[in-house]
Amino acid sequence: MLRRNAIVAAALDEFAEKGFAAARMEDIARRAGVAKGTIYLNFNDKEALFEAIVNQEMRPNVEALASKVAAGGSLRDFIHETLLPLVGDLARTRRGVVVRLLLSEAGRFPKLAEVYYQLVIGPALDSIRTLLQAKDRGELKAMMLLQFPQLLVAPIPMAVIWTGLFERFEHLDVERMAHAYFDFLLGEKPARRASSRKVRKARDE
Amino acid sequence: MLRRNAIVAAALDEFAEKGFAAARMEDIARRAGVAKGTIYLNFNDKEALFEAIVNQEMRPNVEALASKVAAGGSLRDFIHETLLPLVGDLARTRRGVVVRLLLSEAGRFPKLAEVYYQLVIGPALDSIRTLLQAKDRGELKAMMLLQFPQLLVAPIPMAVIWTGLFERFEHLDVERMAHAYFDFLLGEKPARRASSRKVRKARDE
Amino acid sequence: MLRRNAIVAAALDEFAEKGFAAARMEDIARRAGVAKGTIYLNFNDKEALFEAIVNQEMRPNVEALASKVAAGGSLRDFIHETLLPLVGDLARTRRGVVVRLLLSEAGRFPKLAEVYYQLVIGPALDSIRTLLQAKDRGELKAMMLLQFPQLLVAPIPMAVIWTGLFERFEHLDVERMAHAYFDFLLGEKPARRASSRKVRKARDE
Amino acid sequence: MLRRNAIVAAALDEFAEKGFAAARMEDIARRAGVAKGTIYLNFNDKEALFEAIVNQEMRPNVEALASKVAAGGSLRDFIHETLLPLVGDLARTRRGVVVRLLLSEAGRFPKLAEVYYQLVIGPALDSIRTLLQAKDRGELKAMMLLQFPQLLVAPIPMAVIWTGLFERFEHLDVERMAHAYFDFLLGEKPARRASSRKVRKARDE
DNA sequence: TATGAATGAGGATTCATTCAT
DNA sequence: GATGAATGAATCCTCATTCAT
């Protein structure tokens, strides 16, 4: 169903630029190269379009995460092979936009927050817990992460938010930030690099 | 000026519940106990109302933060006296709602993101950098935080997002989470406590 | 395009009855037999509707006037074949309403006055001057009209205004008035007729 | 009642600039140097303000006209002493604005047209008829004016309209135009003068 | 009397959704 | 299936009018 995918992609772009309420179905249709009515052949309403975006863009990531955990590696491997790529992915692709979009609109669409929790957050945290219980009992960082596995992924919301809102005022290399964070978590010494701080134009305006 | 504050408070409540676009001026007015037209005696339009919220709710916090840094204590004191209370505050008061609201709508109102950066984020990061440069050169965590001071406050967006979106599905004690995080950053041993994980109703529905 | 014409016609009726500002888009739509939104498929806003009226109702008349002059007849023929019918037309059709409407609203819509001048008034006066310069140099009336060609059409605003505002108080046969005026201009003796003065109801109320 | 007069004057200015519907009571108040509420101490509503303008600005003129006629002079004297000055007056003072305003809004306020007819138009035409019946029976122009006394004042609406709408596109010396017209009516030879036609900027834009 | 803050009816405009073609 | 003209509910904002001070 190429037609359907084109509509979802167009909707994501429009929602990302304007937000859910301010995005116009007509603009989505034009961007997808179809007529307004065609959208309604595939989706009941605007909200259904939103849910389709979440499903289409997030499900693959979560499934990848779950299978990585099921494959059973070390925490270190999990971080390097899964979490770090995920941060880069969110920073560079439209998936990051989906996350921000969700933050924006979840309040208005409670079902959406629930879907996201059931589909993404809950399983992801379960994966993390499983991993930690298997490997790292007793250490300080493991204790912290067992109680609050959310902390393992704390750089993710920070990265998504910074990229979306503040990047144009001050650059932040979110992948290196995540790298530094995970190195610290694992007690490893990071490679020396130049500071990532570069103040941008808007700051001086 | 009481009237004006009542309107801003009502607007915050409505925006928090419905989002910026979906909030109706009439509902804001009713909640504030005034007539529709009265809002327009105080604010040019809906957007001006939004800016007033950001200014009114965020400025005091930032100034407090800056003065704490200016007063010049240790990183540990700063964390305990400023950051930890801030997390609790954001979790329990409407200020957390303001932050989420801002995440939601900043994309649509670029000026708002800029105001927020100039007023809140930029100064806060500067404060953190100042603190770190004065005190903690050379240590691993300091190196990380000097390059990425955002990591010092990484629990904040996580806390705000969790409280706003997922708390009803799974409880997270964000203050204790922050405590655990800061203990780990400072290399201190946390007090033992029961797990904070309590699955809530929505999970079983 | 029928739809569009129906809207313009309905708008003219409503504007004529209520004036520009007081006419409601909803009433125009109802009168045109369409929904409110349909108007906006054809016209950007209320003002565009107004401009469409002027163009649609006035352009044909002006073009007829110009072609009459280009055809090149005598002043007498021009008066009898063009101006006299014009007066009757303005008195009896909606074109008169357009003129009054324009008088009403031109102050508020400077572009409208300009359009009307460029499209109607300027060309009409040019036509009159051309006619006079070709035919009637040297005579008293021609001297007057060459300097002030507006005087040739002085009965027109009078006719339009009377018909629109005072006809219900006192009848005025504007066509015969124009006839008498033009006869006088041309130095011809008018046919005797009964007085056109008939006091109407409102006078006695 | 200086206060009252200031309000009427301010209202005239605002109505003249914006039209009746678009003029804001607040602007009228500000221009008059009073508070909004003060207007309502003197006038029941916006419409009453309009009527006050007509009465205040037009009544003196009409009474002057009537008394001139009662004094009983010749048609020539009437023209020179009353009509010509009236044209100049309407062209240069706010009284011309009142006339245009009336043309604009009379359709919406039928009572206003009636008041104007009863107060101004009817008496003026009666005066003209009285004058003509006493003096000039039998001549061609008199026959025309007896049947259509409106023609005696035909330059007036033309002058008012031109001044208000088209003057900025093409200059017209309305007083000289009236002079030429009345000379022609009276069969007198006008003094030679330069053409009054001067095309203005807007024409070339 | 005079004020101007407050009111709320009113209306232009937008846009999700429908449906005849 | 696909279209896009048509619909009309929804909502922001204005401003004439009121009234407590």
- D175 or D205, which is more confident: D175
| Protein-contacted positions of strand F (CB under 7 Å) | 1-20
Whether residue D55 is found in the same domain as residue D27: no
* Cα first-last separation, chain D: 48
- Between CA D149 and CA D136 the distance in angstroms is 13
The beta strand positions in chain D, using DSSP E, are 170-171, 198-199
Print the domain residue range for B153.
47-204
Give the length of chain D. Answer: 205
pLDDT at B137: 56
Q: Which of A14-18, A71-75, B99-103 has the lowest mean pLDDT?
A: A71-75
pTM for this predicted structure: 0.84
Calpha distance C147→D177 (Å, rounded): 8
The answer to whether residues D158 and D105 belong to one domain is: yes
Tens-place pLDDT, residues D68-125: 877 767 788 889 988 899 899 888 888 888 888 887 787 777 777 887 888 778 888 8
| Confidence at residue C140, expressed as pLDDT on a 0 to 100 scale | 66
**pLDDT of B19 higher than 90:** no
pLDDT score at C84: 93
Asked whether C156 and C86 are in contact (CB, 8 A), the reply is yes
Interchain CB contact of C201 with D (< 8 Å):
no
User: What pLDDT was estimated at residue D119?
Assistant: 76
Bridge partners of residue A170, in order along the sequence: A199
Helical segments of D43-83, H only? 46-71, 75-78
B24-55 pLDDT tens trace: 999 999 999 999 999 999 999 999 999 899 88
- Select from B139, B169, B11, B164 the least CA-distant residue to B75: B139
Mean pLDDT of B6-15: 94
A83 interaction partners in chain B (CB closer than 8 Å): none
CA quadruple D53, D55, D59, D62: dihedral positive or negative?
Answer: positive
In angstroms, rounded to a whole number, what is the distance separating the alpha carbons of residues B97 and B186? 29
CA of A42 to C1' of E16 (A): 15
The DSSP output letter for A118 is I
Statement to judge: residues B25 and B86 lie in one domain: no
Residues C80 and C142 in one domain: yes
Q: Which of A61-70, C22-31, D193-202 has the highest mean pLDDT?
A: C22-31
Q: With a cut of 70, say whether residue B117 has pLDDT above it.
A: yes
Q: Which nucleotides of E are covered by protein (CB under 7 A)?
A: 1-20
Question: Which residues are CB-neighbours of C134 under 8 A, at least 6 positions away?
Answer: C72
* pLDDT band at B76; cut points 50, 70, 90: confident
Q: Phi and psi for D170 in degrees, rounded to 5? A: -150, 125
* pLDDT confidence band for D205 (50 / 70 / 90): very low
If pLDDT is split at 50, 70 and 90, which confidence band does A192 have?
low
Tell me, yes or no, whether C100 and C197 share the same domain.
yes
In terms of domains, do D142 and D118 share one? yes
**Co-location of C109 and C191 in the same domain:** yes
C1' of E10 to CA of B45 (Å): 19
CB neighbour list of residue A148: distance below 8 Å, 6 or more residues apart: B172, B176, B177, B180, B181, B196
Q: Which residues from A are below 8 Å from B108, CB to CB?
A: 18-19, 22
Range of lowest pLDDT (B134-148, C24-38, D20-34, D169-183): B134-148
Note whether B150 contacts A158, CB cutoff 8 Å: yes
Q: Are residues D53 and D138 in the same domain?
A: yes
Q: Which of D53, D52, D56, D86 shows the shortest CA–CA distance to D69?
A: D86
Residues of chain C neighbouring D16 (CB-CB closer than 8 A): 107
- Cβ within 8 Å, pair A107-B16: yes
In total, the C-beta contacts within 8 angstroms joining chain C to chain D are 173
pLDDT category, A76, cuts 50, 70, 90?
Answer: confident
Residue A154 CB neighbour total at 10 angstroms: 23
Biggest alpha carbon distance in chain B?
A: 60
Residues A2 and A60 in one domain: no
Q: Which helix (H) or strand (E) holds B39?
A: helix B36-42
Q: Report the C-alpha gap between B78 and B127 in whole angstroms.
A: 10
Mean pLDDT, chain A, rounded, equals: 84
Establish whether chain C is in contact with chain D, requiring a minimum of 3 CB pairs below 8 angstroms: yes
The CATH number for B37's domain is: 1.10.10.60
pLDDT (average), residues D161-184: 93
Q: Is D63 on the interface with C (CB under 8 A)?
A: no
Nearest to D158 among C118, C147, C150 (CB): C150
**Euclidean distance between CA atoms B6 and B27, whole angstroms:** 13
| CB-based contact, B184 to chain A, within 8 Å | yes
**Structural domain tally of chain C?**
2
* D171, β-bridge pairs: D198
Closest to B121 measured CA to CA, from A173, A176, A167, A184: A167
Looking at the fold, whether A194 and A155 belong to one and the same domain comes out as yes
D128-137's contacts with Cβ under 8 Å and 24+ in sequence apart are D128/D69, D128/D152, D128/D153, D130/D69, D131/D69, D131/D75, D131/D78, D132/D75, D134/D72, D135/D74, D135/D75, D136/D75
Whether residues B154 and B179 share a domain: the answer is yes
Chain D, residues 138-177, CB within 8 A of chain C, namely 140-141, 143-144, 146-148, 150-151, 153-155, 157-158, 161-162, 164-166, 169-170, 172, 176-177
The closest nt to A36, taking CA to C1', is F4
Q: What SS3 class is residue B21?
A: coil
Mark out the alpha helices in C19-165 (DSSP H runs).
25-32, 36-42, 46-71, 75-78, 84-92, 94-105, 110-116, 122-135, 140-147, 155-161
Residues in CB range of C73: below 8 A, 6 or more apart: C81
Q: Does C83 share its domain with C32? A: no
Res. B121: pLDDT tops 50: yes
Q: So what's the pLDDT on residue B205?
A: 37
Name residues of chain C where pLDDT drops below 50. Answer: 195-199, 201-205
Distance from CA of A120 to the nearest CA of B (A): 11
